[in-house]
Amino acid sequence: MSRILLPLPLALSLGLMFLCVLEKPLFAAQSGPTEVFPVQKTAPVAVVIETVGSEADLRQQMRVKNHVAELSNGTMRFSEAPLGSFGFIAPQPLGMALVMQTPDLQLERVASTSNAYEIHKIADGNGLLVGFMTREAASQISPSERPKNLHIALYSNSVDDAPTIVAVPLNKLMVDRLPIRFDSKKSESPVILNMDLLTTANRKSTTGR
């Protein structure tokens, strides 16, 4: 029985077409999400939620936006916390850690004080410090192309003067003073942390990475 010999270029073309037909179902079977949380490829920017609502509702909106869930353990170092999680830290330990540029933070699953700050560990391992700001100040921190460093005041809780919830990158904060009480006569009063929000992450990391 005689065999038909095809020219080499035609044979190669037919072979490639045959492989494409075979591989198509394989690629189709692998479609769909493969990660629980999307990985951010660049350094995080400040997050602002401009809607109006109760403090609890605004916090929940921020957690959904940043794709984080509460810690599973009572206390945990930031460096040991899983990606996509959040915890709390009291104002004084947070202030000391930021002033001293401590390489790690001790997070609590449940806030030990009503004026504790919330920390988010997002999908790429970076940390975001959650708090409240005036509407005017919040409008200045979100653009990634900010031309200069900003001096900001971040409240631990929502107050009339600061109703807008924000999340700012820990590795872009420069702090040289401890938080102060909004109402000096109340021990559980919301506190204010004054700091500089840098345009680039040119300070030591406080995230333990």
Instruction: State the average pLDDT for the chain.
Output: 80
| Size of the chain, expressed as the number of residues it contains | 209
Q: Are strands 117-121 and 85-89 parallel, antiparallel or unpaired?
A: antiparallel
Instruction: Give the model's pLDDT for residue 36.
Output: 32
Helix (H, G, I), strand (E, B) or coil at 72: coil
Instruction: Region of 208 please: left (phi>0), alpha (psi -120 to 50) or beta.
Output: left
146-185 pLDDT per residue, tens: 667 899 999 999 999 999 999 999 999 999 999 999 988 8
What backbone phi and psi angles, to 5 degrees, belong to 29? -70, -20
Contact 168, 129 (CB under 8 A): yes
pTM as predicted: 0.75
Summarize the confidence of residues 196-204 as an average pLDDT.
71
| 144: pLDDT strictly greater than 50 | yes
| 125: pLDDT strictly greater than 70 | yes
Instruction: Region of 188 please: left (phi>0), alpha (psi -120 to 50) or beta.
Output: alpha
Nearest to 57 by CA among 136, 149, 158: 158
